[in-house]
Amino acid sequence: MAIVFNENKRTFSLHTAKTTYQLKIGNLNYVKHLYYGTTIEDEDLIYLIRRYDRGFSGNPYDSLKERTFSLDAQPQEFTTQQQGDFRINSIEVQNGDGSFSFNGRYVSHKMYSGPFTLNGLPTAYATEDDTVDTLELVIEDAITKVQVTLLYSVFEEKDIIMRAARVHNGGTETIRLKRIMSINMDYMNGKNLDIVSLPGRYGQERQVERQPLTHHVYKVRSGRGISSHQQNPFIALVDRSANELYGSCYGFALMYSGSFIAEVELDQYDQCRLVMGVNDRLFSYAVAPGEDFDTPAVLMTYTHKGLSRMSNNYHHFIRHNLNRSKFVREVRRPVLINTWEAAFFDFDDKKIVEIAKAAKNMGVEMIVMDDGWFGKRDDDNSSLGDWHVNEKKIKCGLPALVQQINDLGLKFGIWFEPEMVSEDSDLYRAHPDWAMEIPGRRAVRSRNQLALDVSRREVQDYLIESINKILDSANIYYVKWDINRAITDLWSNVLPSDRQGEVSHRYVLGLYRIMDGIIKTHPDIMFEGCAGGGGRFDTAMLTYFVQYWSSDNTKPLDNLKLHYGSSFIYPVSTMGAHVSAASPMVPIETKAAIAMCGTFGYELDATKLDKDQIESCRKMSELYHKYYDLNFYGDYYRLANPFEQVNLVAWECLARDKSEALVTVITVNLTVNGPQEYIKCRGLDPKKKYRIEGDGNNLVASGMALMHAGIPIPREIPEFTAFLYHLKAVE
């Protein structure tokens, strides 16, 4: 069993292959957190907690005047409310009598095989090779009968623990959740921890920031209704001395696609607390007697072997345990070209076929018809919600257009933006109440569109039916699912005034139901997510989409930073990346090398390329397939940090059996008569010899030499040159 309960000591030890997480039913039946770190056998670690009289820290009434026991200084698995703990908390509940109080104490637990599931929310699943055990531990307020079930699923071989919480109202009056977190994580000493997060903005998503914890509350949050360009629902707490190869790293990824919050507090005693869950801003959720509320899951991992190992734990898990689509591992994804930057709204069926014919010579295997094919849409002012083909543009009809593309030997993809509505649309004219607009107020426009209230069942059913009708009408191989605005004007015309605080979360639950009804009913279609680029790139989305468009910014040098930051949690196989016409000073070969640190494709007008450019693209498309397995399934290593003042940016994708690797080097700042640069590999078998193909040489060196001495990078080269070093083990 991955979970061991010691009945005498009342400890639960959760074991993965390389880690142990321990909690204990402690004094007065409060559940205490004892340890999370490198594997320790099943011994009681309660000795780590020392109790002192902490002045002005209150004591539970039934502690019998024991002044050394205060929840303000105890490491807990889930916090109480108004019980003397003044740190950031996990729950804020307003009881039926109007009071704000929750005093949760252990009442029961159960253990079983397999991962937990949540009502209406995505979770990870177990593969045939996984050993997964689950603990459900119930704490209860004896007065109100409100229960919180703490859920832990231990993916033993993957070094991942999935956590969530379920609130059950066992009382007789409706309660209101003002705040409910998925996870509470207490560290007995956090003064030497740094917090790593992935902030950004539109076009510059998932940059990297690392800062030492001080005695403050750190907030990483989105209040935009989507997980957002500005923040990502992932943070890590790492030792101050931790680097890519060494040091303790704790990762936390929230499986949620709406407004979220993660808070970290270093308290007065240098203890550290982390909470993570649904953003409590504009949130108030009624739970009637007998009802439950499930929080989103958190994917948690620990390693003492640095940031690279933390990332690879996540990469391996995301590739195997989130998405059941055949396009994750069974079927290779095609090289695609998207029509957006080639035509924007100005196209017809003949233009699509013309681009497809030219693109085929580039090694392209699929063309994607982007925005503008539906309703009467010639710009971004109309027709969202009218999901029927504009036959003034697609004169031959969608089935015939798709057949023409298929006859060229190419696959066909199409773009949707299901969650939005244009005021100039048949849908809005028929159902203005379906849009999110607060009564008596004009709604905020963004990209000239409004958000549909997808919390409503009839809206969900309309979108499922109308989009499925399009998908079933032709041989569509791929869908790009977009959202191009944040959610404002939170209001639902079907909820009473005192329940409008539920709209934001209900929106996300409705979205997941829509995706269940479209994506999961079309297993032969490859779905890619997009949110004005990478504005909703999260682990919950990756249970539906095999890949996510990383950013609308296709400038290759910007993408070096974007891919670097994304790689802290997301594998190459999920990062949508294309070669575009942006940055003409960068060679197309270099653009392609950078795009191969992603899912690879083209975002340009193939009809305007010359023969040399087309030939270069064809060769790079071939390289994408040649190195597909390494890039999509290999262990990823960040070799040079683009946020530092360096001359080179580099990364490595290593086969899990260490038999081969692909090292990509991009020169970004060549100086006159500068020093010789070297790139040191990682993760190789030190005893093996590797043949190195790249830069015209054919060298053989040991894994030990390549990791500690490195590969010399030629100097007399044009700016922005890319090198692809293929390392292959030899006898």
Q: Active-site residues: which are they?
A: 482, 552
What residues contact 412, with CB distance under 8 A and at least 6 apart? 366, 367, 368, 369, 401, 402, 405, 406, 474, 475, 476, 477, 478
DSSP letters spanning 231-252: --SEEEEEETT--SSSB-EEEE
CA distances from 18 to 230, 483, 640 (A): 34, 40, 27
Q: Whose CA is closest to 662, among 705, 689, 707, 628? A: 628
Helix (H, G, I), strand (E, B) or coil at 406: helix
**Contact status, residue 666 vs residue 649, Cβ threshold 8 Å:** yes
DSSP letters spanning 134-159: EEEEEEEETTT-EEEEEEEEEETTTT
Cα distance between residue 167 and residue 691, in whole Å: 57
Cα distance between residue 340 and residue 480, in whole Å: 12
**Contact status, residue 148 vs residue 104, Cβ threshold 8 Å:** yes
Q: Whose CA is closest to 87, among 197, 175, 184, 164? A: 184
Cα distance between residue 1 and residue 14, in whole Å: 9
Cα distance between residue 602 and residue 582, in whole Å: 11
Helix (H, G, I), strand (E, B) or coil at 133: strand
CA distances from 101 to 65, 164, 393 (A): 21, 21, 61
11-15 vs 3-6, strand pairing mode: antiparallel
Cα distance between residue 45 and residue 36, in whole Å: 11
Cα torsion angle, 470, 473, 474, 477, sign: positive
CB atoms near residue 294 (< 10 Å): 21
Q: What's at 724, amino acid-wise?
A: L
Cα distance between residue 585 and residue 534, in whole Å: 25
Q: Is 249 left (phi over 0), alpha (psi -120 to 50) or beta?
A: beta
Helix (H, G, I), strand (E, B) or coil at 73: helix
Cα distance between residue 638 and residue 651, in whole Å: 5
What residues contact 331, with CB distance under 8 A and at least 6 apart? none
Counted residue by residue, the chain has a size of: 731
Q: Which helix (H) or strand (E) holds 108?
A: strand 104-113
What residues contact 7, with CB distance under 8 A and at least 6 apart? none
Residues facing 153 on adjacent strands:
134, 162
Helix (H, G, I), strand (E, B) or coil at 694: strand
Residues facing 548 on adjacent strands:
529, 575
**Contact status, residue 301 vs residue 289, Cβ threshold 8 Å:** no
CB atoms near residue 681 (< 10 Å): 25
Cα distance between residue 710 and residue 695, in whole Å: 15
CB atoms near residue 656 (< 10 Å): 11
Residue whose entry in the numeric block shows the structure tokens 């693209």: 617
**Contact status, residue 412 vs residue 372, Cβ threshold 8 Å:** no
Q: What's at 366, amino acid-wise?
A: M
